[in-house]
């Protein structure tokens, strides 16, 4: 061994440190959901019993809150909520849930945070903004603090909004994750018509019959009827309305053999059907000029914000719908009368959370399905795992949508880089 050469053992301590640093740097931390039962948290406060009952009356809202890594809840005590009891009773369950979503701020705020709010105010996104049903940024709230009195107020960012509330007390905090403040009034989003369900007669549309009468939607009508979810769709007619994207019969026939839609368990099949429905009424003109291209579906409300969304855009004069693995287009208007819109679409909308991340090619008439790049069968994604690891859409999402999305690809990339550097270090040592 030459005098200027050192044995590998000389580098052992340094290499150990290098290995530790590389492995440590390759671990990407991501926010984890709290798995918190918000209604249990509020149950120890008798003066919030009415507000807690409203939260519990929404099937999906408590579960959605439990998936959040940080939030601030503005709760209305019974004495103040009673002034709005007539209004909340008039609302459909879906519209009542949206009012409650407006009281969930997607950011942890402490008392000291409120004291530091400038007089000009602080704009904070609420859970309502993530649904896509709020126009512009009216799903957010503006929080202001009066420097002379220290009073903190919450209101809509819309000018001259009549709905506002004053923060009363902090009643519960789990530092850096959850805080619960009481406010002296129910907050109503700007442009939200509390009387809509009273003034507009129910349509009472039979969706299944409408599809059968359309003569091109028999498969979809049969699936909706068998699953039972059509009753849920019809119940939403009295709320914010619904928009259905119904695949034509040939879309089911064109599915490749390795997409076994009919053999899915009943609960997964119901999620796929709900994936075809927006929880708002959108006539064709509104779809063509939609503000938030990434739209939540009824499946989003069941499975958590940011998941099971559709990317809707205008392409070459037509409305295009992208699920991440399937691209479809609106082919016809089947029914359009406020509050229900039904559109025919060229493909079955398959969610990547269930059917994986690889694009799915359908067999068109006269062009046999050939997809040698695909494996013999499409493995279902791990059932409803937290977040999805596909690439984000090139179109922007509503605020808060990607709060809990994890990028497995970036984690693996960091680990690969770490191993590569380790190999380089060992080769230099030798």
Supply angle C-alpha 133, 227, 330, rounded to 5: 50
Measured at the CA of 353, the angle between CA 225 and CA 252, to 5 degrees, comes to 45
DSSP string, 51-109: HHHHHHHSSSHHHHHHT-SSEEEEE--HHHHGGGHHHHHHS-HHHHHHHHHTTEESS--
CA torsion angle for 364, 365, 368, 370 (degrees, to 10)?
A: 0
* DSSP code string of 304-357: -TTSSEEEEEEETTEEEEE-SS-EEEEEEEEEEETTEEEEEESS----HHHH-S
* CA–CA gap between residue 355 and residue 375 (Å, rounded): 13
- b/e 376-408 (16+ beta carbons within 10 angstroms → b): eebeebeebeebbbbeebeeebbbbbbbbbbbe
Tens-binned pLDDT, residue by residue, of the chain (430 aa): 444 544 544 444 444 444 344 334 444 444 454 557 888 889 999 999 999 988 888 767 777 777 788 899 999 999 998 877 666 666 777 778 888 999 999 999 999 999 999 878 999 999 888 877 777 778 899 999 998 889 999 998 887 676 789 999 999 999 888 999 999 999 988 766 555 544 455 567 889 999 999 889 999 999 998 988 887 787 666 556 789 999 999 999 999 888 888 889 999 999 999 999 998 888 888 888 776 788 888 888 778 777 899 999 988 888 999 999 999 999 999 999 888 899 999 999 999 999 987 777 665 543 333 333 333 333 444 444 333 333 333 333 333 333 333 333 444 444 555 555 555 555 555 4
Report the Cα 348 to chain-centroid distance in Å: 21
Stated as kind and residue range, the H or E segment containing 427 is: helix 408-429
Nearest to 255 by CA among 237, 278, 272: 272
Domain ranges of the chain: 38-183, 207-355
What's the CATH fold of domain 38-183? FAS1 domain (2.30.180)
Between CA 192 and CA 306 the distance in angstroms is: 23
Q: How many CB atoms lie within 10 A of CB 267?
A: 11
pLDDT at 366: 38
**For residues 203 and 337, is the Cβ–Cβ distance under 8 A?**
yes
Looking at residue 361, its pLDDT comes to 65
- Is 2.30.180.10 the CATH number for 207-355? yes
pLDDT at 420: 54
């Amino acid at each position: 061994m030459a005098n200027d050469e050192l044995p590998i053992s000389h580098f052992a301590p340094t290499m150990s440190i290098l290995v530790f640093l590389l492995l440590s740097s390759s671990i990407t931390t991501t926010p984890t959901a709290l798995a918190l039962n918000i209604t249990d948290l509020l149950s120890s406060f008798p003066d919030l019993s009415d507000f807690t009952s409203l939260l519990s009356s929404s099937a999906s809202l408590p579960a959605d809150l439990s998936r959040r890594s940080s939030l601030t809840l503005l709760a209305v005590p019974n004495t103040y909520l009673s002034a709005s009891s007539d209004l909340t009773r008039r609302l459909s369950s879906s519209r009542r849930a949206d009012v409650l979503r407006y009281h969930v701020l997607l950011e942890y705020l402490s008392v000291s945070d409120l004291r530091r709010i400038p007089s000009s105010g602080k704009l904070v996104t609420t859970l309502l903004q993530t649904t896509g049903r709020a126009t512009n940024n009216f799903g957010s709230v503006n929080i202001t603090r009066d420097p002379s009195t220290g009073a903190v107020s919450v209101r809509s960012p819309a000018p001259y909004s009549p709905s506002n509330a004053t923060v009363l007390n902090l009643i519960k905090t789990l530092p850096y994750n959850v805080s619960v403040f009481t406010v002296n009034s129910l907050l109503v989003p700007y442009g939200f018509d509390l009387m809509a369900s009273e003034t507009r007669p129910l349509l009472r549309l039979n969706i299944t019959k409408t599809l059968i009468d359309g003569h091109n939607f028999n498969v979809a009508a049969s699936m909706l009827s068998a699953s039972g979810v059509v009753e849920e769709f019809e119940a939403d007619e009295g709320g914010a309305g619904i928009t259905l994207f119904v695949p034509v019969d040939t879309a089911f026939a064109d599915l490749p053999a390795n997409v076994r839609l009919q053999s899915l368990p009943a609960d997964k099949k119901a999620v796929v059907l709900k994936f075809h429905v927006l929880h708002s009424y959108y006539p064709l003109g509104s779809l063509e000029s939609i503000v938030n291209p990434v739209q939540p579906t009824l499946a989003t409300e069941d499975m958590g914000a940011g998941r099971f969304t559709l990317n809707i855009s205008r392409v070459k004069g037509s409305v295009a719908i992208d699920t991440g693995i399937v691209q479809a287009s609106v082919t016809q208007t089947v029914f359009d009368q406020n509050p229900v819109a039904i559109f025919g679409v060229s493909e079955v909308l398959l969610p990547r959370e269930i059917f994986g991340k690889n694009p799915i090619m359908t067999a068109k008439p006269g062009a046999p399905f050939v997809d040698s790049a695909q494996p013999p069968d499409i493995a279902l994604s791990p059932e409803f795992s937290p977040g999805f690891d596909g690439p984000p859409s090139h179109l922007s999402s509503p605020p808060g949508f990607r709060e809990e999305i994890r990028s497995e690809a970036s984690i693996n990339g960091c680990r690969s880089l770490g191993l590569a550097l380790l190999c380089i270090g060992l080769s230099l040592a030798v």
